Amino acid sequence: MKILVTGGAGFIGSHLMRKLQNVGYEAVALDNLSTGLRENLLPDMKLVVMDTHDKAVEDLFQKEHFDAVVHLAAQTLVSDSMIDPENDMYQNVAGTVRILECCRKYGVKRVIFSSSAAIYGDVDEKALPISETLPQAPLSFYGLTKKTAEKYLELYHLAYGLDYVVLRFANVYGERQGDGGEGGVISIFTKRLAQGKGITIFGDGKQTRDFVYAGDIADGIITALTTDAKNTAYNLSTTEETSLNELVQILSRIGGKEITPTYDKPREGDIYRSSLNNAKAICNLDWKPKVSLEEGLRRVLEDFACRR
């Protein structure tokens, strides 16, 4: 199977490219390197440096005859989406439609789309962990663009028969992560610790996130490429809530040094509690996370230590 991975030089993409190579798929990474890095990929991995909006993307589809596309490329910062919603829409909605059009024209059989917990918004505590059927009320333009892109996927399937699987990621973290995105707080914290700097928490630190390791996410994507349980959405998560204060405590324990964070005002568009129900993915995809938060954090800290 020949796979195109948009955003393939990003941190989730780099985990996925390694897994695809290990299982014997032919994978091509497409990345404009605005946030991704060539060094995130192994030397023998194929990278095409190109933006999803470039006209040459269509030539790439015509030449390579991809069987499936994993669409990871996106603007992932909630805060940036609130500052510049027009660019957020351009990257996340128009960019997705551009890829879908190429898929339609050149015989791609399936699209795996990286969506987000941000589409649900700030839900009542009784609704946690959030299931896929919960009404969506995003608080940020980022969440709104992901919701809109999902609707395009549904209509492309109905109109053109293009199969899809939507994967709504919880807060993804792992090696090679930048400071942006929904799991970026771990990258920020671990990087500052490695540099001997202090940590700032925006809010009271009691806000929770469902942190899931990027390698586990890559496993879920690979399963989605061939599952018969397609044309639907799945949460990929741990279902476990971890507060930012608890995250600091775990990092203190792993690092063997007490960390005392400072606190600042909450950021616009951030939700307070988040946890996703992964029962549907466990049942239909036979997927579940394998790497604990503590083990994942150890890997991230070791990765930063090796790259210093």
Give which of 1, 7, 91, 3 is closest to 41, Cα–Cα. Answer: 7
Give the pLDDT of residue 43.
Answer: 97
How many residues make up the chain in this entry?
308
Tokens of 200: 């700032």
Indicate the helix (H) or strand (E) that contains 294: helix 293-307
User: Which residues in the chain come in under a pLDDT of 50?
Assistant: none
| Exposed / middle / buried, residue 10 (Cβ in 10 Å: 0-12, 13-18, 19+) | buried
Give the pLDDT of residue 187.
Answer: 87
Q: Which CATH class is domain 2-173+214-237+276-290?
A: alpha beta
Indicate the helix (H) or strand (E) that contains 109: none
Domain range summary for the chain, segments of one domain joined by + = 2-173+214-237+276-290
Q: Cα separations (Å) of 14 from 47, 218, 233?
A: 11, 9, 23
- What is the identity of the amino acid at 249? Q
The string of DSSP codes covering 115-159 is EEGGGT-S--GGGPSBPTTSPP--SSHHHHHHHHHHHHHHHHHHH
Give the pLDDT of residue 65.
Answer: 98
Write the pLDDT tens digit of every residue in 165-194.
Answer: 999 999 999 999 876 555 578 988 888 887
Give the pLDDT of residue 179.
Answer: 63
Give which of 51, 57, 70 is closest to 5, Cα–Cα. Answer: 70
pTM as predicted: 0.94
- What is the identity of the amino acid at 47? L
Inter-residue contact 100 to 153 (CB < 8 Å): yes
Distance CA 165, CA 151 (A): 12
Distance CA 177, CA 36 (A): 9
| Exposed / middle / buried, residue 169 (Cβ in 10 Å: 0-12, 13-18, 19+) | buried
Q: Cα separations (Å) of 155 from 43, 109, 124, 195, 221?
A: 38, 15, 30, 48, 21
Q: Which residues are catalytic?
A: 142
Looking up tokens 């879920």 gives 220
What are the residues facing 262 on neighbouring strands? Answer: 200
Inter-residue contact 173 to 211 (CB < 8 Å): yes
Inter-residue contact 91 to 74 (CB < 8 Å): yes
Inter-residue contact 270 to 207 (CB < 8 Å): yes
Tokens of 186: 């771990």
Secondary structure class of 196 (helix, strand, coil): coil
Secondary structure class of 82 (helix, strand, coil): helix
Inter-residue contact 111 to 153 (CB < 8 Å): yes
